[in-house]
Amino acid sequence: MNALQWRWLHPLLHPSDPIPPTKSSLPYLCVILNFLLASPSYPTYHWSLLFPACRPSHATSIITPLYNLLRVVDAIVRKFGVCHVSFSTCLRLPLTSLIEHSLPSTHSISPTFCPPQAVASRCPGVLKLTGNDVLTFDPASQALQVRTSARGLPNPTTSRRAIQFLQSQQLLLNNLVHFNMLPLVPRPVIQHIDLSNITSYTEITPRQLLHQHMHDQFTPYCPHGQSSSSNSPPVIEDTEHFLFSCPLKLEVWLHTLSLYISPRFSHFAYEEYLAILQLRFTFDCSSHELFPDLSVFQVFACIQQAIRSAHYCQVFQHSPFIPFTVIHSIHRSLHLLDSQLSN
Percent of the chain at pLDDT exceeding 90: 9
Query: Could you give the CA distance from residue 185 to residue 180 in angstroms, rounded to a whole number?
Result: 8
pLDDT above 70: residue 148: yes
DSSP state of 99: B
- Nearest Cα neighbor of 91 from 50, 14, 143, 148 is 143
DSSP state of 128: G
Strands (E), 196-279: none
Q: Are residues 32 and 60 in the same domain?
A: yes
Provide the mean pLDDT of the chain: 76
At 232, the pLDDT band (50, 70, 90 cuts) reads: low
Q: Are residues 159 and 257 in the same domain?
A: no
Query: DSSP secondary structure string, 231-243?
Result: -SPP-B--HHIII
pTM assigned to the model: 0.51
Query: Could you give the CA distance from residue 54 to residue 131 in angstroms, rounded to a whole number?
Result: 12
Domain boundary (30, 58, 74) is at: 74
- Specify the pLDDT at position 91: 85
Total residue count of the chain as it appears in this document: 343
Domain count across the chain: 3
- Specify the pLDDT at position 80: 66
Domain boundary (150, 165, 197) is at: 197
Q: Are residues 210 and 326 in the same domain?
A: yes
Greatest CA span in the chain, whole angstroms? Answer: 73
Chain centre distance of CA 201? 10
At 35, the pLDDT band (50, 70, 90 cuts) reads: confident
pLDDT in tens, 160-177: 999 999 999 899 988 888
pLDDT in tens, 303-329: 998 998 888 887 777 778 888 889 998
- Nearest Cα neighbor of 131 from 157, 166, 102, 170 is 166
Domain boundary (41, 57, 74) is at: 74
Helix (H, G, I), strand (E, B) or coil at 85: coil
Query: Could you give the CA distance from residue 211 to residue 265 in angstroms, rounded to a whole number?
Result: 34
Contacts of 89 (CB under 8 A, 6+ apart): none
